Amino acid sequence: MKIYLDNCCYNRPFDDQTQARIAVETQAKLIIQSLVKMQKLDLIWSFALIYENELNPHINKKNTIRNFAKNAKIRVHKNARHC
């Protein structure tokens, strides 16, 4: 199965985990991340994610997300056409 997550998902583990909704969303994201690493899901990464992540002023967060991008099986480029 192919999966695409927006930039908010990648940043969710860095948010305040004392809020129940945020903690649950973080756990869901971490489960998906584990499935990607076990190659049970095919991660899609796009030029938009790269652009948005590069705007992140927090170096550690930016680098963590950039490193996870290495797990992507599919890359969507700016000029790609999909039907």
**Which run of H or E residues covers position 48?**
helix 47-54
> What is the pTM (predicted TM-score) of this model?
0.84
Which sequence spans correspond to the domains of the chain? 2-76
Give just the sign of the alpha carbon dihedral 71, 27, 17, 5: positive
| Sequential pLDDT tens for the chain (83 residues) | 999 999 999 999 999 999 999 999 999 999 999 999 999 999 999 999 999 999 999 999 999 999 999 999 999 998 766 65
pLDDT digits (tens, 9 = 90+) for 32-44: 999 999 999 999 9
Note the pLDDT of residue 16: 96
pLDDT of residue 79: 79
Contact assessment for residue 63 and residue 50, using Cβ atoms and an 8 Å cutoff: no
For position 28, what pLDDT does the model report? 97
